[in-house]
Structure 1
Amino acid sequence: MTPALALLHTSPVHVPVFDALRDAHHPGFELRHTVDASLLERARTAGPESVADAVGTAVARAVADGAGAVLCTCSTIGAVAERVPAGVPVLRVDRPMAAAAARERRVVVVAALEGTVEPTVDLIRGAAHGRAPYIRSLLVDGAWALFETGDRDGYLAAVVAAVDGVRDADVIVLAQASMADAAARARTAIPVLSSPRPGLAAAVAAATSGAATPR
């Protein structure tokens, strides 16, 4: 029997996104979603380490329920989740995206939350393995307020406008999973990377094999 994959979200908007990716690329694979918006709220005000115990509890509960791996879809707390000793792979959704970006020379990280910028930049630098990509960040002013009010189209439009305004880059990284649809809407010729599809693929592989992905 193939083990299930548990997903830890900080917004309910991610549930249909990952279900759709599962249906398209991993049909029949069982996903179990846990949504806790308070984790991001607390991480934003007190720092990601402030939610370490709560994340550990959520991961332990998922493992006790039979999950073969756990995927954290929030970039802000992803590093905290990865450090949880769980007995099964615990992955952050943006690691495969960061590995792809780290192969390029000039990287622009687009984010809607300031607290997501540093973890994403650090992840890309760590994936560069001796290379030194030039990384700069772009915070989309006002985008997160649109997201919080449920204006998804306005949120994505703000992200797309920022992405299409980027110059002098080899790749653009969308720092948050909620930005993924902006990649298809952008008109830039610069490659735009988002995390949900490669992150889910890595987590499904980890759950199936029972082995953590390389870091």
Structure 2
Amino acid sequence: MLPKRLITCLTSGLLLSLVVLLRADDQQWLSAELLAGAQKEFGDEAEQRLLDWQQLYQDLRNKDESEQLRLVNHFFNQRVNYISDEKHWGQKDYWATPYESLTTHGADCEDFVIAKYYTLKELGVEVEKMRITYVKALRINQAHMVLTYFPTPDAIPLVLDNLIGKIYSADRRKDLEPVYSFNGSGMWLERMKGQGIRMGNPNKLDLWTNLRLRMSAQGMEI
């Protein structure tokens, strides 16, 4: 039997399948229907977190990328609690949409990265500059995920991480051992100091494909 929280989120996703983000109205990033659905299913605090996310988007639209990176990283690290997938969703591995992370007030490392990646993409950061990067976190000896950002194609990337609030370049993150990375356009065997070796299509990842379908049902294209 699926956990009640997961059933609620999946049901909400179906109910929101016709909801779209309003791009024509610069003052409203998230639709009124989406916000009302969050309030009905999860309460006032969940709706407020979405409103705060919308305000973040409005505040950062005309900022430079370094400021966007810093404040998006800070927002999700501060506004969403870390909860493991097994505790939160009753599953070993579940990639939550930003809507799910904010409304349920919980996320694990993958969910933090997904929310940051999507928000920055919507702010205009090129997908080619960002990688969803699997690493081994050496200090805690476990698999982990971070968002890496390449200012230029050959640059050492910056690392956005929910474990460490400040953004550092990858060569300063000796505690992370890269494994592989991907974005909406490709997958790579990863090297934290460079672009890595291209290895295929990210849509071969079942979790990524499932995430994209659920986000599309919520009016969000990742």
Q: What TM-score results when the alignment is normalised by the length of structure 1?
A: 0.27
Q: Which has the higher contact order (CA 8 A, sep 6+)?
A: 1
